[in-house]
Chain A
């Protein structure tokens, strides 16, 4: 059985790791982009941002000020046992979010949307949010995503229903135009990790877009060749736009475009575009039944899709 002591520590450490370090695939994407970007303010912005990240990692400071929405993605082993029962899992996570906020590893960023009431600890109605996959085994895998507000609030997230008549061109046009308007003046901190959710209901497509942007490893490709080809084409096309880091111009406009899909109603195709910041913050820990824990460097959320 996983004790609360083990669980709490693992969750807390995962949150802190997400906001004060950078995952290896994102680190590599920065370094690759720096190699390919040769001049101009976009290059300066990329260098500065990477330096800011490294300063944060070296000094255990936030790699970006805006720690955003606290999001948990949990792969729950079907035989997992948590001290006090699995129904207490979310409450423990909420407590760790509050503790991490108190310790300044999260900025107290979320509050009541109407009254402005601020708990000061990032815990409130429906936040933090939880998404589950039930998997074989007795471990609990906790993925924590610190979802930045820039990419979420300023045009990094778009939704539209297209006709089947619009086809792949329609999807591609929507992605390109969404990204251009979202990136104006560095609103969404490009080069982004773009997620595209195609098909399903509005919420399914938005969820797929969010997970594709925040949880897919950079450089991974969708296993279906048609979808992988769409990802490659979109990446190439977006990098032709010259948006660069923070909309300041350059060849490195996007770190990746990840497409996930759900079967669509014959009436129309829901398409969502989601963006995650160049400093995408995510961390993963596997908590085993014998109370050992393992850090996973990249999540494999879409494994077995």
Chain B
């Protein structure tokens, strides 16, 4: 487990050496997405609204943003659960040339495969950081705000040593949480023993 401070645009060779369990921080530009924008692009076939050149860091996030003195300012900025965007995981990696997705609660098998194929990682926040992250990001621009609404529009942000994040899918396609699942499975036996639930207990099949 090592700690890395990475610069955006993220370099392929840097991303490929990261392994699950590593800790990372990011400096440079990133953009946000949720469901509505990915539906708009991938399912409805609209054109991507800004240049992706040098922008290969995506954040799954629906921020709370206000306008202060004519400038956008985030008042809450917390990465959100990525697994709900699994349908668009592989497409977003391939079409947007992503090297990293920041989110929460990891992603599924098809995204893991795409990350292995294209050299991309998924990282998760370690606890809730919606306020602590405010000093590490600055809102630069927003696109399609009227169409998407403030939460689901893609926001362009400048990150300054934004982190820490845990690498939970690496370019080998390994998932950090698979290792946790094994631990919970073992502990479940102990919990069932404590509760006197027999190992072969099954519910009555009512439906």
Assess the B78–A247 pair: CB atoms within 8 A. no
Can you pick out 26 interface pairs between chain A and chain B where the beta carbons lie within 8 Å of each other? A44-B127, A45-B126, A48-B128, A52-B128, A52-B130, A55-B132, A56-B131, A65-B76, A65-B80, A108-B151, A111-B149, A150-B81, A161-B206, A162-B204, A169-B201, A170-B203, A172-B195, A173-B192, A184-B181, A185-B83, A186-B104, A189-B128, A240-B191, A240-B194, A243-B184, A246-B126
| The one of A108, A162, A243 that contacts B150, using a Cβ cutoff of 8 Å | A108
Given contacts A163-B204, A165-B204, A242-B184, contact A186 B131 (CB under 8 A): no
Cβ contact of B105, chosen from A45, A47, A186, A268, cutoff 8 A: A186
* Complex: A303 Cα to B80 Cα, angstroms: 36
Chain B residues within 8 Å of A126, by CB: none
- Of A59, A61, A64, A108, the residue contacting B149 (CB under 8 A) is A108
Contacts A163-B204, A240-B194 hold; do A120 and B130 have CB atoms under 8 A apart?
no
Q: Chain A residues near B194: list those with CB within 8 A.
A: 233, 236-237, 240
- Min Cβ gap A112→B in Å is 12
Q: Which one of A172, A187, A246 lies within 8 Å of B127 (CB-CB)? A: A246
Report the separation of the CA atoms of residues A61 and B184 in the bound assembly, to the nearest whole angstrom. 35
**Complex formed: what's the CA distance from A31 to B198 in Å?**
35
User: A111 to B206, alpha carbons, bound, how many Å?
Assistant: 35
**B75 pairs with A62, CB closer than 8 A:** yes
CB contacts (< 8 Å) of B183 on chain A: these are 242, 249
Q: Mark A154-168, 1 if CB is under 8 A from B, else 0.
A: 100000111101100
B169-191 with Cβ < 8 A to chain A = 177, 180-181, 183-184, 187-188, 190-191
CB distance from A152 to the nearest CB of B (A): 11
Given A237-B191, A240-B187, A242-B183: A62 and B130 interface contact (C-beta under 8 Å): yes
Chain B residues with CB below 8 A from A64, complex form: 76, 78, 128, 130
Quick check: B197 and A185 within 8 Å, CB to CB?
A: no
Contact A48 B188 (CB under 8 A): no
**Distance in angstroms between the alpha carbons of A163 and B207 in the assembled complex:** 10
Neighbouring A residues of B78 by C-beta, 8 Å: 64-66
A176: interface (CB < 8 Å): yes
Q: What does the 1/0 interface line of A110-146 toward B look like (CB < 8 Å)?
A: 0100001010100000000000000000000000000
Tell me the smallest distance from the CB of A172 to a CB of chain B, in Å. Answer: 5
Q: Who on chain B is nearest to A106 by CB?
A: B64
Residue in A45, A63, A104 whose CB lies within 8 Å of B66: A104
Most A CB atoms within 10 A — which of B78, B127, B132, B204?
B127
Is B126 within 8 A of A44, CB to CB? yes
Complex Cα–Cα for A53 and B84 (A):
25
The bracket for how many chain A residues form the interface is 35 or more
Is A41 engaged at the interface, CB distance under 8 Å to the other chain? yes
B110 at the interface (CB under 8 A from A): no
Instruction: Say if the beta carbon of B129 comes within 8 Å of chain A.
Output: yes
Contact in complex: B188, A247 (CB < 8 Å): no
Question: Which 4 pairs from chain A and chain B are nearest by CB?
Answer: A163-B204, A48-B127, A45-B127, A65-B78
* Complex interface: chain B residues within 8 A of A186 (CB): 104-105, 124
Given known contacts A160-B203, A163-B203, A185-B83, A245 and B127 CB-to-CB distance under 8 angstroms: yes
Q: Which of B62, B201, B204 contacts A107 (CB 8 A)?
A: B62
Total A-B Cβ pairs within 8 A: 170
Distance (whole angstroms) from the CB of A273 to the closest CB of chain B: 14
* A153 lies within 8 A of chain B by Cβ: yes
Residue A109 at the chain B interface, CB threshold 8 Å: yes
* Cβ-defined contact, A65 with B77, below 8 A: yes
Question: CB of B166 within 8 A of chain A?
Answer: yes
Complexed CA–CA distance, A172 and B63 (Å): 38
Knowing A59-B131, A173-B201, the reply to whether A154 touches B105 (Cβ < 8 A) is: yes
Give CA–CA (A78, B130) in the complex, Å.
Answer: 42
B63 cross-chain contacts in A, Cβ below 8 A: 65
Asked if B36 CB lies within 8 Å of chain A CBs, one says yes
**In the complex, are the beta carbons of A104 and B127 less than 8 A apart?**
no
Residues of chain A lying within 8 A (CB to CB) of residue B106: 184-185
Which residues of B lie under 8 Å from residue A150 when comparing CB positions? 81, 105
B187/A187 in contact, CB under 8 A: no
Q: Given contacts A48-B132, A120-B149, A185-B168, is CB(A180)–CB(B188) below 8 Å?
A: yes
Instruction: Give Cα A236–Cα B62 distance, bound, in whole angstroms.
Output: 35
A172 to B193, CA, bound (A): 12
Q: Does B95 contact A (CB under 8 A)?
A: no
Determine if A169 and B75 form an interchain contact, defined as CB atoms under 8 angstroms apart: no
Shortest Cβ gap from A149 to chain B (Å):
8
Query: Which residues of A (239-263) have their CB < 8 Å from a CB of B?
Result: 240-243, 245-249
- B127: chain A residues within 8 A (beta carbon): 44-49, 52, 245-246
